[in-house]
Structure 1
């Protein structure tokens, strides 16, 4: 699920764009390259060396290094050589490594990469390690665990459990007379509230009108929540869409109308957004922004403690949001040490001491015992998003889908591009929806 850059978190537009561009390089070179021998992880002084890579900020890096050192203490014959980078650089490097047959022994993966890497045999299935107890899954939610599967085989484990919501300015909501959003509020109520904020006629720091929210029409994650709240889904299978031209036309018409009314951000401000800071909300042009839970503390750091986290609207009380892996961890197919790599995967996900160190740096820990233990140490915005997740779990959410098909990376890029045509008056919602459906069909059939 979404880093502003947390993100594994909030990607906003930049994360999605990078995922798609990395996939292009991977898809053209991966299959033939994997038949070549990889550079195996070497031993050090008679021991074993594993390579482990991930993306993330400095805090995540420091905590991950500390957890790795704990693993080495428990496995004195194993050394772990680590590397990390920002999300964009990481994805590009991983695609290059995969094309050369040299994925690290243990690798952090995005939800949208699972089908790509599993289908190309760049990562190992983990079934044997799970069956023999090397990797434990009893404390993981079955639905969340399923997100790391491909063709009914487990290829990766979630490293965090994320969920979507809206960061919102509580002072502006109060000024407009909008009550604290509850899990059952609807898209119609959300639209009405955005118009109420716009009707205040407030001015941003640059003198322009303040709108109710960022324009989510170009965000495939918003569409998925909208679709699921109506009983639909993005994909019916690995080769077929789960929505129709009418579904997408309705969604884009909804946002197009709100933008024309001034209730959500103007087209030029949406097009310029590639981070929290450059988003309409970050620039004082909107009162709310669709985001993920893990990057939410970045909003409070930028905008103050009056920023809170609200549920994604529903359709007649039916929530479309779901718990998605913020990121996953898998084992490179060409590792020379699959057992030790599996042990590291298990340690990072299930060990209590590792959980204490890693905290919420990858969103809510997927292991329920670890999550409950770490939650006792939380405060401020991190405590708020943990409590939000607990509230939404009690409210009732449907199970997450399996990892999306390989073509999703190109489809989500086309999704944003087609909606930009709508925003700038180059296409009607239906014309753009028809183009998207046609392009998506080609991607899924290829």
Structure 2
């Protein structure tokens, strides 16, 4: 879900290179030895399961897994958890070194990467024989785990994008709460209006109205879908043109130069650290996934709310997608038991009660309805927001992005940062991105 992206540290001290290579080799070796489940002499089965997430998700997931172990006394689950950036790197290393864990949490963008690379086990046989039950899941959400006609992963939650906003500042400015039909033009006007209030940041500067989403491919996708297009028209074809991207980047950069959006330096820092400008008190509107809204706080103690992504003439570009998925390592020695654990986490009411909305709305409708009745506070706000967006109407989710998307996403951020710092015009950067994207998709 997509959660806030962690920055990559690009520069290593020369002295650390040798140590880094040695550590990487060790990790690859260990990945090959421990990524797949094993049986001891007495027939006891050990499964490995890894995911990313905060402390709350870790505690709830471990509790749910213990319930599974209690119901399956012959199975032990070795669990591991990490922050998103570290997790992605580790999973890629494991895939290269012989195999990912028996059960692994996956980002939407990783399905093509790992399934196409032979690191994930097709789940069709377990869906067909009933080990994995998808009957209470939305069919369009289940399809996001498809690749080339086969099911490689199942959704662990359902989420949607929006904007965290400072409701106290909105009230002070006389700005009404954003409605599902508000437009990008409305959003720009609100950002400019808040900037004109000349509010102070914690470090004494003038606060901006909103964050700059120009470097975030997710924001562009929402903007693009509002215009009736998609990121990808096919497995190796972009769904947008150089003109489309240049228009989006020009829109964002013009607002940034006017002061309505956070500075290029603050925007780049947010990209690098994963710490939003909103959390630092630098703006009053910040793009976010609903699953992460509950983790936001206001440095000034203000009331915060969650607003829809702006539309294009009322057409919503945001969509419900899997916040994350779960798959089985292709080299698992115990795929049947791994599938049983997966089904337990997705469909057992006991697990649903423990996991709650730690991965946003549960994909199983019956479990989601049971969880709904117990929600309070920010969790209740998110649930009501999701229901409001469902009633308003959004498009079905697209298929999982193609294999080259991970590299394209990085290039997207990098090219817009050149625009932010005056190193390239929106048109020039858009041209460069298109060239790089086509190379990735055709390779």
Normalised to the residue count of structure 1, the TM-score between the two structures is 0.91
Q: Which residue of 1 aligns with 2:16?
A: none
| 1:14 aligned onto 2:14 | no
- Residue-pair matches, total: 426
The 5 A counterparts of 1:43-82 are: 43-44=39-40, 45-82=42-79
2:279 and 2:298 in contact (8 A); partners too: no
In the TM superposition, residue 303 of structure 1 has moved relative to its aligned partner by 5.6
2:36 and 2:47 in contact (8 A); partners too: no
Q: Which residue of 2 aligns with 1:317?
A: 314
> Which of the residues 430, 433, 436 maps onto 1:433?
430
Q: Tell me the alpha carbon deviations over residues 247-267 of structure 1, each in whole angstroms, 9 at most, x when there is no partner.
A: 001101111111111111111
Q: Which residue of 1 aligns with 2:124?
A: 127
Q: Which residue of 2 aligns with 1:42?
A: 38
Q: Which residue of 1 aligns with 2:14?
A: none
- Alpha carbons of 1:362 and 1:214: their partners in 2 closer, same or farther (altered >3 Å)? same
Q: Which residue of 2 aligns with 1:378?
A: 375
Where does structure 1 lack aligned partners over 5 or more consecutive residues?
3-8, 18-24
Q: Tell me the alpha carbon deviations over residues 223-249 of structure 1, each in whole angstroms, 9 at most, x when there is no partner.
A: 000000110000011111000011001
Instruction: Return the alpha-carbon distance in structure 2 between the equivalents of residues 82 and 282 of structure 1.
Output: 30
- Alpha carbons of 1:278 and 1:136: their partners in 2 closer, same or farther (altered >3 Å)? closer
2:281 and 2:298 in contact (8 A); partners too: no
Q: Which residue of 2 aligns with 1:326?
A: 323
Q: Secondary structure at the match of 2:397?
A: coil
Where does structure 2 lack aligned partners over 5 or more consecutive residues?
11-20
- Alpha carbons of 1:57 and 1:179: their partners in 2 closer, same or farther (altered >3 Å)? same
2:166 and 2:302 in contact (8 A); partners too: no
The 5 A counterparts of 1:404-423 are: 404-423=401-420
State the Cα RMSD in Å: 2.3
> Which of the residues 169, 180, 191 maps onto 2:188?
191
Deviating beyond 6 angstroms after TM superposition, the runs of 4 or more aligned structure 1 residues are 36-39
Instruction: Return the alpha-carbon distance in structure 2 between the equivalents of residues 89 and 421 of structure 1.
Output: 26
> Which of the residues 185, 209, 213 maps onto 2:210?
213
Q: Which residue of 2 aligns with 1:289?
A: 286
2:415 and 2:433 in contact (8 A); partners too: yes
- Alpha carbons of 1:73 and 1:205: their partners in 2 closer, same or farther (altered >3 Å)? closer
> Which of the residues 262, 267, 274 maps onto 2:264?
267
In the TM superposition, residue 361 of structure 1 has moved relative to its aligned partner by 1.1
In the TM superposition, residue 408 of structure 1 has moved relative to its aligned partner by 0.7
In the TM superposition, residue 278 of structure 1 has moved relative to its aligned partner by 4.1
1:300 and 1:381 in contact (8 A); partners too: no
Q: Which residue of 2 aligns with 1:349?
A: 346
Instruction: Return the alpha-carbon distance in structure 2 between the equivalents of residues 56 and 407 of structure 1.
Output: 25
Instruction: Return the alpha-carbon distance in structure 2 between the equivalents of residues 37 and 284 of structure 1.
Output: 46
2:38 and 2:334 in contact (8 A); partners too: no
